[in-house]
Chains A and B, each alone.
Chain A
């Protein structure tokens, strides 16, 4: 389980996270959603041990999260400068030297499923193929946690669908936890079990996808819109 207790994060003088408490148990598919600048990427980096909370604690299975936990977490960054001089094949070979839990056979299987060219340099691939190569390398690690930063952003609908299928096909949410940030939820809603909504470094709501539909009779997108409207009117009313 990943457990955050009152985590704050200050980068330079900016408050990026403002008191996040969250428990993410094993075996679920979680979306961290919010507008740009809401703190979702920073929150994911705290969970991955890439950023240290300014105050508060971040725990993985009861142990403080440090860079060392990278061995138990498969993290995929949003940036595109992902070893551009490697081919996918070389990227996998490199991953194999870096991570004990990396399964080269699985990497090949995923890249075949997603039709990733394995012998072309990543920088020469289309953005879509690079996105597919990245997800193949990330999912080929057999680990309890996949932390994915904006796996769908900037990709065309076909690639988004391929990546979604790769996630369904090559993860086991009964024993693995998949946490992904996204600012666009409508398309991937059926993939998720739970949604955590962030705004200005705070969690403003958390619910299961089917819970939202059951309680409010709307999909997650509508629910989020109504949340943001509520926040606005609360702000105007002076509350919070």
Chain B
């Protein structure tokens, strides 16, 4: 269907991460309204129950707010956005470190490598 899902993680989690990513990246702006549950479900090719669960989870994380009868909006609370951003960063670092350790690299080695690369791509 429209979104390809990885086989090893629950579909709703992948959608939660996807939307968090869009918000952190600024593809969806603070205060912006998310598509309705039905619209997003249609776009993602998942059923509306799954999408409902995704929206609930986003609200629980605090990155969106439900306004009665109007739908879900991205929070304008910069502290919350910053918090989610930091959390996401932390998660990415943890999985990166696990990954490199499984190949026997040390973090110092990788830090050096990242610093060297740093200027090139930015």
Contacts and interface: CB of A to CB of B under 8 A. Distances in A.
Interface string B33-61: 00000100110111111101000000000
A174 B8 contact: no
Contacts, number: 68
- Chain B residues touching A, range: 20 to 34
Nearest to B7: A219
A172 B109 CA distance: 53
A190 B8 contact: no
A28 B12 CA distance: 15
- Chain A residues touching B, range: 20 to 34
A142 B12 CA distance: 27
A232 interface: no
A209 B53 CA distance: 13
B119 interface: no
Given A168-B41, A168-B42, A169-B38, A28 B7 contact: no
Contact of A173 (B7, B8, B11, B48): B48
Interface in A201-236: 209-210, 213-214, 217-219, 222
B42 A169 contact: yes
A190 B49 contact: no
Contacts of A193: 47, 49-50
B50 A190 contact: yes
A218 B46 CA distance: 18
A207 B25 CA distance: 35
Interface in A149-174: 161, 164-165, 167-169, 171-174
Contact of B8 (A165, A168, A191, A217): A217
Given A29-B49, A173-B49, A174-B52, A190 B7 contact: no
Given A168-B48, A190-B11, 10 more contacts: A164-B1, A168-B42, A168-B47, A173-B48, A174-B52, A187-B1, A190-B47, A191-B45, A209-B10, A209-B11
Interface of B: 1, 3, 5, 7-13, 38, 41-42, 44-50, 52
9 contacts: A164-B45, A168-B48, A169-B42, A173-B48, A190-B44, A191-B47, A214-B9, A217-B7, A219-B5
